[in-house]
Amino acid sequence: MSIDETEAPSNTSYTHGPPADEAGGVLTIDLTAIEANWRRLRTVSSPAECGAVIKGDGYGCGLEPVAAQLYHAGCTTFFVADLSEAKRTRALAPEATVYVLNGLPPGTGPVFAEHYLQPVIGSTAELAEWDTFCTSSGWHGGFALHVDTGMNRLGVTVEEAAAIAPRLSSENHGMTLLMSHFVSAETPDNARNHEQMLGFREVRRMFRGIPASLANSSGIYLGRSALCDLVRPGVAMFGLNPTPGKPNPMQRVVELKARISIVRRVELGQTVGYNATWTVRRPSRIALIAVGYADGYLRSASGDDNKHGGHVLVAGVKCPIVGRISMDLTAIDVTDLPPNAAKRGDFVTLIGEGLELEDVAEQAGTIGYEILTHFGHRYARVYKSA
């Protein structure tokens, strides 16, 4: 996809990657649903500003089309993982604020300045290097300060934050955002959420006048104390439920279908796939679909003699995955379907038609984030924008 195709979302669909009739699978991404989800999150979090986290190549949906859609919808603050993603975002969102969550790699100050990007500073060493660069270059582009309130990952300690706070007395202190990150926002009854909100409130008192951000997708639903000045939704924009255990308030964004390459008969007692892990217990019809772990369809969803694996939908009917998912192929049992319901060239549904991302993730023993960010590049990607 070229930059030109994403600068102004159109009212038509377009395909990126191989043509649909040449691909083993078709991944449909609804950009209008992404925008609608962001608008809903913005309404829920009002009056806080609603930014957008589009790291991981737009959570596997494509950073460029996602950034363009949200920027034209009115999003003015983006968060990405690294400089590469930040530069791609800047090309599509020229007036937006773009924060780099992974911070300041050594020696990259000039790159931040060239592209008007802002690092999320998470250590005193980063802050020292940033200050040195700004002093020597005269750059005043600003930065976010990440304070660790319990994740024990990125972020300065609360004690270090207290030592940094006096810099606010300087006219050119450079700080544009104070932020932290929830540990367990998706489990609202977890006591850590309340502890972090209290801890972050104390940190905010040391940085009066600086906009603050704590809430991710699920954090937006923890109440007003979590919202602060800016919220940072990510995965909810792409259709995953930010309120597990309750109805999903988000629209579905992705649909994945795969093509049947062949349907074959396998006799009683024979096995299917690598290492002979699944044994046929009745004369069976096995369909091979042209998607495997090279396409991000996780091998952990395989079915064998000792456990059930995942399933797909064929003509609306659940059909189990049998044997090992291989690099390019997945076997499914279509014995219970009418003979003409599954034939060479037909498409089966891997995500969609009621088979949700969360369901697919559970089958593979993982989380929806991993399913999203593992989508491969051999699919024909159909982008819809109304």
DSSP 347: E
Please indicate whether residue 55 is annotated as part of the active site.
Answer: yes
Exactly one of 246, 274, 318, 343 is catalytic; name it: 274
3-state SS of the chain is: CCHHHHHCCCCCCEEECCCCCCCCEEEEEEHHHHHHHHHHHHHHHCCCEECEECHHHHHCCCHHHHHHHHHHHCCCEEEECCHHHHHHHHHHCCCCEEEECCCCCCCCHHHHHHCCCEEEECCHHHHHHHHHHHHHHCCCCCEEEEECCCCCCCCECHHHHHHHHHHHHCCCCCEEEEECCCCCCCCCCCHHHHHHHHHHHHHHHHCCCCCEECCCCHHHHHCHHHCCCEECCCHHHHCCCCCCCCCCCCCCCEEEEEEEEEEEEECCCCEECHHHCEECCCCEEEEEECCCHHHCCCHHHCECCCCCCCEEEECCEEEEECECCCCCCEEEECCCCCHHHCCCCCEEEEEECCECHHHHHHHCCCCHHHHHHCCCCCCEEEEECC
Closest residue by Cα to residue 27 from 57, 68, 3: 57
**Is 196:183 a contact under the CB 8 Å cutoff?**
yes
Please indicate whether residue 383 is annotated as part of the active site.
Answer: no
Spatial distance between the Cα atoms of 318 and 373, rounded to a whole number of angstroms? 25
Q: Which residue in this structure is represented by tokens 């009056």?
A: 47
CA atoms within 13 A on the CB side of 298: 20
Number of residues that this document lists for the chain: 386
Exactly one of 55, 99, 297, 379 is catalytic; name it: 55
Catalytic positions: 55, 274
